[in-house]
Amino acid sequence: MARLDYANARIGARRARLLGGAEVRELLARPDLAARLELLGRRGLGPPLPPEIAREPDPLGAVEAVLRAGVRRDGLRILAEAEGARARALLAAFLELEAPRAVRAVLRGIVAGAPLDVVAALAPPTPELSPERIRELAACDTIEKVVELLESAGNPLGPALRAALPARVERGLLALEVALDRTACDRALEACRGAREDARILRAHLHDRIDARNAETLLLLAGAPPTPELFVAGGGRIDEVAFLRLGALTVEALRARLGALFPGAVSALASPWSADRALERSLLAALRREARARPLSLAVPIAYLAERRAEARRIAVTLRGAELGLPAEEILELAEA
């Protein structure tokens, strides 16, 4: 087993500070953004959010950037606390699984013509994709320039995008996004080869994550027949044959079948947004079970980091919903609190 005793002991105290449903309700009871930020700071919940951030030109965007930076900082701190090259390699592989999400935000921003600051704020940094590198990517005006920049930096996501560019004509950004996820998952699977417990834990998470990616692709196709290049190999529940068969079903039958594969998610599969959230909840629930069963293992830090990402999203949704004047019950549902 990798030496994670020290890192895991410190995570126990950090987990106690994660913002939950009761704190979300307390936030919603505050009259304005400044008061909500003051409460977060005073209670020590989440990352430090100075009250003066409420006076920024885009205060919510600034808050969300701080939240993402806090998650990255936590990941790097835990990575540094892990003892031994093997433990750090496995944690680094897990952290780098966020890289496709960052590049995906950049690609979508370019297609939508979104401002650089908005795109950069939406892209989560990773150990290999620093905030500075993400801003460079977000400043590109074409997808081809993003590919060139990634390739020149030696990032493996660059060649993956290059190979997928021809498929964009027919499949749009979906072909590029699947290629990003496939490359990141293949790298992580290579990093966690072996029979040791921590390698097995990360590998099991990757199997679940790949299944979720393939399920998301099928839902996004909305009944259009899938092709093999949209499949990511390595899942535990959906192999390539099942992927192609599921893609031949009606939308209603597909949702029912995926609901059986991902218990508890069937009612959320009707829309891409709720389906994405439901699939992520399924991944987090599996990590939590593993962390409880093996409290000295890699499952503890990766479950905690997944919870931190969920917390950052929960805070962001709560603050935005309150500023938009949404009903409290609707915000609580969106924040899953």
Residue type at position 328: A
Q: What is the DSSP letter of 226?
A: P
Q: What percent of the chain has pLDDT over 90?
A: 52
Confidence of residue 3 (pLDDT cuts 50, 70, 90): low
d(CA 143, CA 168): 11
Mean pLDDT of the 248-262 span: 90
pLDDT in tens, 87-146: 899 999 999 999 999 999 999 999 999 988 888 878 888 989 998 999 999 999 999 999
Average model confidence (pLDDT) across the chain? 88
Token digits for 327?
């009903």
Q: What's the CA angle centered on 131, arms 129 and 135, to 5 degrees?
A: 100
Site of tokens 């892209």? 123
Q: Judge whether 202 and 298 are in contact, CB under 8 Å.
A: yes
Residue 300: closest CA among 86, 84, 44, 94: 94
- What is the DSSP code string of 4-30? -HHHHHHHHHHHTT---HHHHHHHHTS
Residues 6+ apart with CB under 8 A from 287: 205, 299, 302, 303, 306
The pLDDT assigned to 266 comes to 66
Q: Judge whether 331 and 319 are in contact, CB under 8 Å.
A: no
Mean pLDDT of the 207-227 span: 92
More confident residue, 86 or 3: 86
Q: What percent of the chain has pLDDT over 70?
A: 94
d(CA 141, CA 138): 8
d(CA 126, CA 128): 5
The domain limits of the chain are: 5-334
Give pTM, 2 decimals.
0.89
